[in-house]
A and B are shown apart, each in its own frame.
Chain A
Amino acid sequence: MSERASVPAEDEQQEETEAEEQTQAPVTTGAQSVVRALENAGAEYVFGVQGGAIMPVYDALYDSDITHVTMAHEQGASHAADAYGIVTGDPGVCFATSGPGATNLVTGIADANMDSDPMIALTGQVPSNFVGNDAFQETDTVGITQPITKESYFANHSDTVGHDVSEAFALADAGRQGPTLVDLPKDITQGETDVEPNPPTTPDTYHVQEEADEADVQAAADALAAADRPVILSGGGVIKADASNALREFAMEYEIPVITTMPGIGSFPEDHELSLEWAGMHGTGYANMAITNTDCMLAIGTRFDDRLTGGVDSFAPDAEVIHVDIDPAEISKNIYADYPLIGDAREVLRQLFDAMPRAPDADEWREQCQTWKDEFPMSYEMPDDEPLKPQYVVETFSDVTPEDTIVCTGVGQHQMWASQFWEYTEPRTWVSSHGLGTMGYGVPAAIGAKLAAPDQEVVCFDGDGSFLMTVQGLSVAVRENLDITYVILNNEAVGMVRQWQDGFYEGRRMASEYPWIPQFDKLAEAFGARGFRLEDSEDVEETIQAARDYDGPSVIDAHIDPGENVFPMVPSGGDNGLFALEEDHLEML
């Protein structure tokens, strides 16, 4: 599976024994201290690309049990590490060299930052005496990444570099998770030291409050119990805090309908009667109706992103908001919290569970929610003579796979269909780029997800435009023989842009149509993967089965109806209750 898989088996065994012994050996260089810090923190994989300034760290990695996965591009390394972090809950690790290596990581770091995914990036840097001189492959990595990390460290001594990595690792995982970075000048990693890194501990200025104030919890619980139209809004933070079970217990005990945000998908089973699935721009009609009409919202681990809220003036306008978040800065940032509860989602849910005086009297409300489910079902039309429908591909795939199947996506229309028409029941099975909306996320993310959960099935839905942005990652999936099924919902366009152009720019399709894209099935074969071309609805099941049966990466190039658009839709900044169910509705808004 690793880079060194080409080493003959017996040598490898011998090497492994040596490696174990050397793991115990004292640290002699800064680079070894860096690797030791990663080992101490429990790192299993590193996703990266070699290069001049990071070379000493790679050399130290040679003697480590940590498996290095060489990616085809540093952006892929950061997305793979990000996905690894989402699936395992532990920080994913990525490496890049200085200059272009480091800047290529930036997209993935920003992505992790927006979605609060735990990740640590280690970048090579030119030797200290060249820093600031515009040396070959120099860039101000700390300066560039400071706004998109929890903290970016510049290592300035061989004796402390291991400690910097330990601290960065702990920080990425603590409280509200997120990315950290350590920039490693070459002389610092090459330099001699015998200092063992400290165990991973967060900086002394970083404080996390685990439990919310008891009186505040009681006030919030009383408000929720008194509500006529209560909802729970479950965000990505519920999954990050491993609070899905606590959420399920709470919602089911007090019979409160649950809406998730898009990153919160999987925190509550979508097949449960209390589930209204997810709300926001392309969320379900019933979730958006419930959000709009609720009088008390228990929002947990969500930052009220604008794709969720639409215009804030019309978001849950009648609702008292109870906001649970581990990050105090999220409280009243976008939506005012009447009851702020700062703490870990799992702990606070437990506190709330105990504090609830009774279940809200909400029979009528639940009936109303059911009515909305009946009125606005998630559906699509599939006449016999029509081209292949993307929703049908997603739904069919969802029906045949186990519940713990992990779905990764790129960004675009396919991402919305994959979130709408797949039925999610388990946390950490939905791996997508939400806040940053990074096209190209899917191919490398699926690699990180598969390595994180080798026993779970991994499917990646991508678009033709999104897939093409990181297609080189397919070489990695082939080399590592990762059993991933890539499904390209191919409409020869950046479809979401085209949808907006058609809806809001009078159909002026400037630069959104891609009739020149390659034949992805053949491209897959060229990489050494299995390729399938899918055009007819009646071939869907069979093709999916063939791709699943293949032991290794496969790519289904599914040529879908190019006229298909994503609905429901709340126009940007609009009113969630006024979602459009079809093109005609957009004109009413």
Chain B
Amino acid sequence: MPGPAPTERIRPEGRRNSQGIRVDPEAEVTHDPRQAVLSALVKHKPGVLAEVSGLFSRRQFNIESLTVGPTSDENIARMTILIEEPEPGIDQAKKQLQKLVPVISVTELEPEALRRELALIKVGGEKPDDVNAVAEMYDGQAVDASTDSVTVEITGSKQKIDAAVEAFKQFDVQEIVRTGAAALERGPKTLDTDV
């Protein structure tokens, strides 16, 4: 006694989007990606970076930058992770990160949090004065010079560094290194209180 064929069965009206969220059946709904700054306190021990970066790569989270460094507690390191994902992806990234055993706490920083990146830019040494002048425009300074090269240090937001790099292109850029963002909440709020 086979029941109705597939197309003749009772059907509900609703539908979900690709993120599993119920949506208006008539409307197109997508979540645009946004940038999020995650700050994580982790146990300072070998293998933690691999564990965190492995998580992000195998779950296909689109990672913009990841920086890591020690804190005032020698057993704890702090990671700053910039990701760009639709809202559900950001939420999932936070929870998956929190799930890792060496991770102590995860917080998404406010959009207005302080974000700084460092770049070292090595250019040709023919016009040291001009290089210095451009560096000053970006609150940077020459930190090394030889007859053939000048290396400049710039600190600031990603946009500022992007602009600086663009400006230095007039001087035969030989090498650039950038750190990715380190970020801290403005005001008295600290992560440590969440531990």
Residues of chain A touching chain B, judged by Cβ–Cβ distance below 8 Å, are 142-143, 146-147, 150-151, 154, 171, 203, 205-206, 285, 289, 292-293, 304, 309, 312-315, 317-319, 327-329, 331-336, 372, 374-377, 577-582, 585, 588-589
Contacts of B5 in A (CB 8 A): 585, 588
Question: Are B47 and A154 in contact, with the CB atoms below 8 A?
Answer: yes
Which one of B10, B19, B92, B103 lies within 8 Å of A205 (CB-CB)?
A: B103
Confirm or deny: B7 has a beta carbon within 8 angstroms of a beta carbon on chain A.
yes
Residue of B whose beta carbon sits closest to that of A292:
B12
Q: How long is the Cα–Cα vector from A463 to B1 in the complex, in angstroms?
A: 29
The reply to whether A336 and B19 contact each other, CB–CB distance below 8 Å, is yes
Contact of A317 among B1, B12, B54, B55 (CB under 8 A): B12
Contact of A329 among B1, B2, B18, B95 (CB under 8 A): B95
Given that A142-B47, A146-B51, A154-B47 are known contacts, is A581 also in contact with B20, CB under 8 Å in the complex?
no
Given contacts A206-B101, A328-B95, contact A146 B54 (CB under 8 A): yes
Residues in chain B near residue A154, CB distance under 8 A: 46-47
Q: Does B104 contact A (CB under 8 A)?
A: yes
Residue B91 interfacial (CB < 8 Å): yes
B11 lies within 8 A of A336 (CB)? no
Give bound CA distance, A142 to B54, whole Å. Answer: 12
A-B contact pairs, 9 of them (CB 8 A): A146-B47, A151-B101, A309-B20, A314-B15, A331-B95, A332-B20, A579-B6, A580-B6, A588-B6
Tell whether, in the assembled complex, residue B12 and residue A336 are in contact, meaning their CB atoms are under 8 Å apart. no
Show the binding face of B for A, using Cβ within 8 Å.
Answer: 1-7, 9-22, 43, 46-47, 50-51, 54-55, 58, 88, 91-92, 95-96, 98-99, 101-104
Q: Write out the residue numbers on chain A whose beta carbons fall within 8 Å of the beta carbon of B9.
A: 289, 577-578
Given the interface pairs A143-B50, A205-B43, the reply to whether A336 lies near B21 with Cβ below 8 Å is: yes
- Assess whether A329 is in contact with B47, with CB atoms less than 8 Å apart: no
Instruction: Give CA–CA (A292, B10) in the complex, Å.
Output: 9
| CB pair A336 B3 closer than 8 Å | no
**A332 to B91, Cβ gap below 8 A?**
yes
Given contacts A203-B101, A205-B104, A581-B3, contact A304 B15 (CB under 8 A): no
* Smallest CB-CB A-B distances: 5 pairs: A375-B3, A317-B14, A329-B95, A335-B20, A318-B12
Contact yes or no, B16 A312, CB < 8 A: yes
- Residues from chain B with Cβ under 8 Å of A582 in the complex: 2
For A171, list chain B residues within 8 Å (CB).
101
In the bound complex, how far is the Cα of B55 from the Cα of A183, in angstroms? 20
Shortest A293–chain B CB gap in Å is: 6
Q: A285-B3, A314-B15 are in contact. List 15 more A-B contacts (CB 8 A).
A: A147-B54, A205-B43, A292-B12, A309-B20, A312-B16, A313-B15, A313-B17, A317-B12, A329-B92, A329-B95, A375-B3, A377-B1, A578-B7, A585-B5, A585-B6
Q: Could you tell me if B101 and A292 are in contact, using CB atoms closer than 8 angstroms?
A: no
Nearest residue, chain A, Cβ from B17: A313
- CB contacts (< 8 Å) of A332 on chain B: these are 20, 88, 91-92
Residues in B neighbouring A335, C-beta threshold 8 A = 16, 20
- Known contacts being A143-B50, A328-B95, A588-B7, is A150 close to B101, with CB within 8 Å? yes
Q: CB-CB < 8 A to B11: which residues of A?
A: 292-293, 577
**Closest residue of A by beta carbon distance from B94:** A329
CB distance from B180 to the nearest CB of A (A): 22
* Distance of B77 from chain A, by nearest CB (Å): 13
A292 nearest CB across to chain B (Å):
6
Which residue of A is nearest B97, CB measured? Answer: A329
- Residues in B with CB closer than 8 Å to A206 are 101
* A246 to B: closest C-beta gap in Å: 25
Are B6 and A578 touching (Cβ within 8 A)? Answer: yes
Interfacial chain A residues near B10, Cβ < 8 Å: 289, 293, 577
Q: How far is the CB of B25 from chain A (nearest CB, A)?
A: 8
Contacts of A336 in B (CB 8 A): 16, 19-22, 88
Complex CA distance for A205 and B10, rounded to whole angstroms? 49
Closest to A372 in B: B3
Q: Is the CB of B3 within 8 A of A317?
A: no
Indicate if the CB atoms of B50 and A146 lie closer than 8 Å: yes
For B1, give its contact among A203, A205, A375 (CB under 8 Å). A375
Chain A contacts for B17, CB-based, 8 A: 313
**Given known contacts A332-B91, A375-B4, A588-B5, is B13 in contact with A205 (CB within 8 Å)?**
no
Nearest neighbor of B6 in chain A, beta-carbon distance: A578
Q: Is the CB of A333 within 8 A of B47?
A: no
Interface contact B13-A318, CB-CB below 8 Å: yes
Task: Report the Cα distance A203→B98, complex, angstroms.
Answer: 14
Residues in B with CB closer than 8 Å to A578 are 6-7, 9
A313 touching B18, Cβ below 8 Å: yes
Pair B98/A329 contact, Cβ less than 8 Å: yes
Q: Give the complex CA separation of A374 and B1 in angstroms.
A: 8
Q: Report the bound CA distance from A154 to B21 in whole Å.
A: 41
Provide the bound-state CA to CA distance between A1 and B2, in Å: 50
- Given A332-B88, A582-B2: A312 in contact with B47 (beta carbons within 8 A): no
- From residue B86, how far is it (CB to closest CB) to chain A in Å? 12
CB-nearest residue of chain B to A167? B101
Cα–Cα distance between A391 and B60 once the two chains are bound (Å): 41
Q: Would you give the shortest CB distance from A64 to chain B, in whole angstroms?
A: 28
Give the residues in chain A near B4, CB-CB below 8 Å: 375
